[in-house]
């Protein structure tokens, strides 16, 4: 079925096509100058010292835990209200995820006060997810990290260019991870970026991204190196220049794209105002500069049990919706990790949340149409 208004639409045109063709014609398609250009531009736009392209964000998160020395027996505090990769990555290094609830139906960020109650002698790190690109309370979380000597990994997949008090998300903790999967703010098909201000971590990330080898094949092909040693147990988590070429174009479009998304968000806020006793709009009073990756709403208790019917109704009107997210602690493979978890707010949200369409080319009429259909259902 094709929807009249999809959840997401690619912001692609001839410039992405040209960038890929140019890369193919350059005769260098694996990791090389385009990856470096993407990294340099990304680091500069985020005002961070180091950025490294990655195959995807899942690999970036894995490598973050790896270089931070998180290991079996360690505990990592994380939200359950996230995409499963944020938690799976903790387990790739053998550590134990400890689920923490979010703040409220109107703020899907991990709750700093709850974090503190979950800290034990085994706790080594905190994963924060900046939901929809809205920042977590990094001051409170940073203070906890200092007090208990914990590392902070920012899953900033939803928030390229988003800010918290003037700093870009992903650049505030020890390591920040980004995704360029098709439906993210920057789309390269698959793809990701890892950023840090720490020189030592950068050095390790760079080595372990590519088998722990001391030189890359591009350096050898261009005569800058003829041999290599392997000095770390690494992986192949590299991006290729075909994707990086798309990424460079997408990155340049991002500031304008985010401005249009902000406009779409303000239309939603206006049109949905009459529904204020029926739904919550998370981060309604946000004043930070944000990416608006998605537009979530939460049905209030008086609409208990109607979420899936609402989604079916909207789908029948040609409006695609989604749910962000099914709770990670409720997945089969997390049963052994979730028996101790008390996550009432997360559990309420996952049963009452609906994600409405959000992308930069949505028109005022689209938002009015979606809002009218919501009213038609919720007022009936
Ligand atoms: C998309 C996403 C990921 C995974 O990114 P990939 O690039 O697909 O591996 C991880 N965490 C969050 C919050 C995401 O939205």
What architecture is the 255-378 domain classified under in CATH?
Alpha-Beta Complex (3.90)
Omega of the bond leading into 306 within 30 degrees of 0 (cis): no
Overall fold of domain 14-252? 3.40.640
pLDDT 10s digits, 166-179: 999 999 999 999 99
- How far apart, in whole angstroms, are the C-alpha atoms of residue 119 and residue 367? 43
Q: Specify the pLDDT at position 242.
A: 98
Query: 364 CA distance to ligand 1 centroid (A)?
Result: 29
pLDDT 10s digits, 253-296: 999 999 999 999 999 999 999 999 999 999 999 999 999 999 99
Q: Specify the pLDDT at position 43.
A: 98
Return the ligand 1 atom nearest residue 56 CA.
7
From the number of C-beta atoms within 10 Å of its C-beta (0-12, 13-18, 19+), residue 200 rates as exposed
pLDDT 10s digits, 167-210: 999 999 999 999 999 999 999 999 999 999 999 999 999 999 99
What does the block give as tokens for 3? 């929807």
Q: Which residues of 287-305 are buried (b: 16+ CB within 10 A; e: fewer)?
A: eebbbbbbbbbbbeeebee
Query: 24 CA distance to ligand 1 centroid (A)?
Result: 28
The confidence band for 377, taking pLDDT boundaries of 50, 70 and 90, is: very high
> Any residues with CB less than 8 A from the CB of 339 and at least 6 apart, and which?
none
Q: Is 328 in the pocket of ligand 1 (CB under 6 A)?
A: no
What does the block give as tokens for 285? 């009073």
Q: What's the first-to-final CA gap in the chain, in angstroms?
A: 26
- How far apart, in whole angstroms, are the C-alpha atoms of residue 29 and residue 358? 32
For CATH 3.90.1150.10, the residue range(s) in the chain are 255-378
For a pocket test of ligand 1, which of 53, 86, 89, 132 has the largest count of ligand atoms closer than 8 A to its C-beta? 86
Query: 201 CA distance to ligand 1 centroid (A)?
Result: 21
What does the block give as tokens for 47? 């005002």
User: Going by CA atoms, what residue is nearest to atom 8 of ligand 1?
Assistant: 181
CA dihedral 159, 160, 162, 166 (to 10 degrees): 140
Q: Of 313, 312, 309, 322, whose CA–CA distance to 359 is shortest?
A: 322
For a pocket test of ligand 1, which of 109, 157, 178, 237 has the largest count of ligand atoms closer than 8 A to its C-beta? 157
Query: 132 CA distance to ligand 1 centroid (A)?
Result: 12
Res 339 pLDDT > 90:
no
Q: Is 53 in the pocket of ligand 1 (CB under 6 A)?
A: no
Mean pLDDT on 115-141 = 98
For CATH 3.40.640.10, the residue range(s) in the chain are 14-252
- How far apart, in whole angstroms, are the C-alpha atoms of residue 237 and residue 209? 5
> Any residues with CB less than 8 A from the CB of 69 and at least 6 apart, and which?
none
Q: Specify the pLDDT at position 226.
A: 83
Query: 309 CA distance to ligand 1 centroid (A)?
Result: 28
Res 149 pLDDT > 70:
yes
Res 89 pLDDT > 80:
yes
Res 303 pLDDT > 70:
yes
Q: Is 131 in the pocket of ligand 1 (CB under 6 A)?
A: no
> Any residues with CB less than 8 A from the CB of 96 and at least 6 apart, and which?
73, 74, 75, 76, 90, 122, 337
CA dihedral 223, 229, 235, 237 (to 10 degrees): -20
The confidence band for 311, taking pLDDT boundaries of 50, 70 and 90, is: very high
Instruction: Indicate the average pLDDT of the chain.
Output: 97
What is the phi/psi pair of residue 26, to 5°?
-75, -15
Q: Is 85 in the pocket of ligand 1 (CB under 6 A)?
A: yes
Query: 160 CA distance to ligand 1 centroid (A)?
Result: 12
pLDDT 10s digits, 51-85: 999 999 999 999 999 999 999 999 999 999 999 99
Model pTM? Answer: 0.97
Q: Of 244, 195, 190, whose CA–CA distance to 37 is shortest?
A: 244
Write 334-338 long-range contacts (CB < 8 A, 24+): 334/87, 334/97, 337/96, 337/97, 337/99, 338/80, 338/99
- How far apart, in whole angstroms, are the C-alpha atoms of residue 235 and residue 227? 19
Q: Specify the pLDDT at position 1.
A: 61
- Paired sense of beta strands 279-280 and 163-164, if any: unpaired
Q: Of 250, 265, 252, whose CA–CA distance to 362 is shortest?
A: 265
Mean pLDDT on 213-232 = 87
Q: Specify the pLDDT at position 293.
A: 98
Query: 328 CA distance to ligand 1 centroid (A)?
Result: 13
């Amino acid at each position: 079925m094709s929807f009249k208004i999809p959840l997401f639409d690619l912001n692609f045109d001839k410039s992405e096509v040209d960038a890929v063709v140019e890369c193919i014609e350059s005769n260098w398609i694996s990791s090389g100058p385009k990856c470096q250009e993407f990294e340099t531009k990304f680091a500069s736009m985020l005002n961070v010292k180091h950025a490294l392209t990655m195959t995807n964000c899942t690999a970036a998160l894995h490598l973050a835990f790896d270089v931070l020395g998180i290991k079996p027996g360690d505990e990592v505090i994380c939200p359950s209200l996230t995409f499963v990769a944020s938690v799976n990555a903790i387990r790739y290094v053998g550590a134990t995820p400890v689920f923490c609830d979010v703040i409220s139906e109107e703020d899907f960020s991990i709750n700093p006060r709850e974090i503190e109650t979950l800290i034990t002698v085994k706790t080594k790190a905190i994963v924060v997810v900046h939901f929809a690109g809205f920042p977590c309370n990094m001051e409170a979380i940073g203070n906890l990290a200092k007090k208990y000597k914990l590392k902070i990994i920012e899953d900033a997949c939803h928030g390229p260019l988003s800010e918290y008090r003037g700093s870009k998300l992903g650049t505030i903790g020890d390591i920040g991870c980004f995704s360029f999967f098709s439906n993210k703010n920057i789309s390269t098909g698959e793809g990701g970026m890892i950023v840090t201000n720490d020189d030592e971590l950068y050095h390790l990330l760079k080595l372990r991204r590519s088998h722990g080898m001391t030189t890359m094949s591009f350096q050898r092909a261009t005569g800058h190196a003829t041999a290599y040693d392997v000095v770390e147990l690494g992986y192949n988590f590299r991006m290729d220049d075909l994707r990086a070429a798309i990424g460079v174009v997408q990155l340049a479009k991002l500031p304008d794209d985010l401005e249009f998304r902000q406009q779409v968000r303000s239309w939603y806020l206006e049109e949905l105002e009459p529904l204020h006793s029926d739904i919550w709009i998370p981060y309604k009073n946000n004043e930070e500069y944000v990416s608006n990756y998605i537009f979530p709403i939460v049905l209030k208790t008086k609409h208990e049990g109607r979420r899936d019917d609402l989604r079916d109704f909207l789908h029948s009107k040609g409006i695609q919706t989604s749910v962000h997210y099914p709770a990670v602690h409720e997945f089969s493979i997390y049963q052994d990790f979730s028996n101790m978890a008390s996550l009432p707010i997360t559990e309420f949200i996952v049963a009452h949340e609906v994600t409405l369409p959000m992308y930069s080319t949505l028109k005022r009429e689209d938002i009015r149409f979606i809002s009218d259909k919501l009213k038609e259902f919720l007022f009936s």
